[in-house]
């Protein structure tokens, strides 16, 4: 079997049979001429299917170790589609520090359709087992989580959930890890969801999402909804994600190398009280992370003295780390989750520490990144 580095460049892709173009063409078309009434060449209308999108979907499926991939217009559109395959009265068990937008969608929208959500600490196997119910249909794991970088044991959780009821889908949001670092389907999960906006795209130039599932029946239901509801990405965005994926392994290795050094620096800084990085020995699940992931990834969070004011001051005084939401691009970003990405969890059990700062460590030279953090932590 081909290695990941080779697959990330070639999976699902071949030179264009018409011209020999090495890169996948951007089929910027909404419709396709038919040879006779009802006789088409595999594509009828671009909501239903587009050749550039098909290549991306096959590439993503292959990278996650399945045949069934679907691309969406955002990570949230992918998550929304996965919830819409449920019936009123179904129960979903969700990790208690998932991305704020996921929590907002579940609570503000789907609860009123009588889908029941409960939130547990998925790093504790016993808590997950004791919270399963006869009507549980999905268990949602984010690992590492956004923004606290908690790690849940995909293999053990998949086993205990399937022992309880084989029909429950274990869903893993693999956005932070990417398939290069972590292969949830091989560890027993049923479905992987992505915001391709982040590391897969890798250049902060598109918003996109994806679902890869193991089970044909689930895939067909999701595929029906993708066409019926239409939250599809355009061909240009699909091309950009395909291009981003080609350098995913090289980028992820450098992101992790830089993030590990930033973590070491933060640990030595007197203003910093806590640092979260999955591969650091101080992380409560560092051993599990090292078993489950190829490296620690590019995200680092930390708490510093001075609470919200301290966090705001640091986030507003870095120069290379840009103050912005999102993550996973080549450039370093800094943000304050309680006020920015996770504002929708305020006053909820999922609320994050107002003094928490989140870094998406980019690919700039490590000396420049550390100097930037040093000067921002020095200004009070």
The CA distance from 83 to 110, in Å, is 8
The CA distance from 199 to 170, in Å, is 22
Nearer to ligand PLP, 71 or 76 (CB): 76
Nearer to ligand PLP, 116 or 173 (CB): 173
Tell the smallest beta-carbon distance from residue 98 to ligand PLP (Å).
Answer: 7
C-beta of residue 345 within 8 angstroms of C-beta of residue 352: yes
Helices 366-378 + 248-268 axis angle, to 10:
40
Nearer to ligand PLP, 57 or 173 (CB): 173
Q: Please tell me the number of Cα atoms within 13 Å of 352 on its side-chain side.
A: 30
Nearer to ligand PLP, 104 or 243 (CB): 104
C-beta of residue 191 within 8 angstroms of C-beta of residue 172: yes
Tell the smallest beta-carbon distance from residue 110 to ligand PLP (Å).
Answer: 15
Respond yes or no: is residue 287 known to be catalytic: no
Respond yes or no: is residue 180 known to be catalytic: no
Residue whose CB is nearest to ligand PLP in the complex, by number: 75
Tell the smallest beta-carbon distance from residue 206 to ligand PLP (Å).
Answer: 9
Which chain residues interact with ligand PLP by CB under 6 A? 74-76, 99, 101, 142, 146, 173, 175-176, 195, 197, 207, 209
Which position among 7, 90, 99, 110 bears the catalytic label? 99
Dig out the tokens for 46 from the structure.
């671009």
Which position among 7, 53, 137, 198 bears the catalytic label? 198
Tell the smallest beta-carbon distance from residue 25 to ligand PLP (Å).
Answer: 25
Respond yes or no: is residue 99 known to be catalytic: yes
The CA distance from 105 to 94, in Å, is 12
Tell the smallest beta-carbon distance from residue 327 to ligand PLP (Å).
Answer: 7
Tell the smallest beta-carbon distance from residue 194 to ligand PLP (Å).
Answer: 8
Which position among 32, 47, 221, 261 bears the catalytic label? 47
Which position among 62, 80, 97, 173 bears the catalytic label? 173
Residue partners of 237: CB distance under 8 A and separation at least 6: 73, 206, 207, 208
If one counts every other C-beta atom within 10 angstroms of the C-beta of residue 182, the result is 25
* DSSP-assigned letter for residue 322: E
Respond yes or no: is residue 53 known to be catalytic: no
When computed from its CA atoms, the radius of gyration of the chain, rounded to whole angstroms, is: 21
Nearer to ligand PLP, 69 or 75 (CB): 75
Q: Which residues does the annotation mark as catalytic?
A: 47, 99, 173, 198
């Amino acid at each position: 079997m081909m290695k990941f580095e080779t697959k990330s460049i070639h999976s699902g892709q071949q030179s264009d049979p018409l011209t020999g173009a090495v890169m996948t063409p951007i089929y910027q078309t909404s419709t396709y001429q038919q040879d006779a009434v009802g006789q088409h060449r595999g594509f009828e209308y671009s909501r239903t299917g587009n050749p550039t999108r098909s290549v991306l979907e096959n590439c993503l499926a292959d990278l996650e170790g399945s045949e069934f991939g679907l691309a969406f217009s955002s990570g949230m559109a992918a998550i929304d589609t996965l919830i819409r395959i449920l019936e009123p009265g179904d129960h979903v068990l969700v990790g208690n520090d998932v991305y704020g937008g996921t929590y907002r969608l579940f609570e503000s929208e789907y609860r009123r359709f009588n889908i029941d959500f409960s939130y547990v600490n998925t790093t504790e196997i016993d808590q997950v087992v004791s919270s399963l119910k006869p009507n549980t249909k999905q268990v949602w794991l984010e690992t590492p989580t956004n923004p606290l970088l908690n790690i849940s044991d995909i293999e053990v959780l998949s086993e205990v959930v399937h022992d309880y009821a084989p029909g429950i889908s274990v869903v893993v949001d693999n956005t932070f890890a990417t398939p290069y670092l972590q292969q949830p389907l091989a560890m027993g999960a049923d479905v992987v969801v992505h915001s391709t906006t982040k590391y897969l795209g890798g250049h902060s130039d598109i918003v996109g999402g994806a679902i890869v599932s193991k089970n044909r029946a689930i895939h067909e239901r999701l595929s029906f909804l993708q066409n019926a509801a239409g939250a599809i990405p355009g061909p240009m965005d699909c091309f950009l994600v395909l291009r981003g994926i080609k350098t995913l392994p090289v980028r992820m290795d450098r992101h992790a190398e830089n993030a590990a050094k930033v973590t070491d620096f933060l640990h030595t800084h007197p203003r910093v009280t806590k640092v979260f990085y999955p591969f650091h020995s101080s992380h409560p699940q560092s051993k599990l992370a090292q078993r489950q992931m190829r490296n620690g990834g590019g995200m680092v969070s930390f708490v510093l003295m001075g609470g919200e004011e301290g966090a705001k001051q640091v986030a507003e005084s870095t120069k290379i780390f840009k103050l912005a939401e999102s993550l996973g691009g080549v450039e370093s970003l800094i943000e304050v989750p309680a006020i920015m990405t996770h504002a929708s969890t305020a006053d909820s059990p999922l609320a994050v520490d107002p003094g928490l700062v989140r870094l998406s460590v980019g690919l700039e030279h490590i000396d420049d990144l550390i100097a930037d953090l040093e000067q921002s932590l020095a200004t009070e």
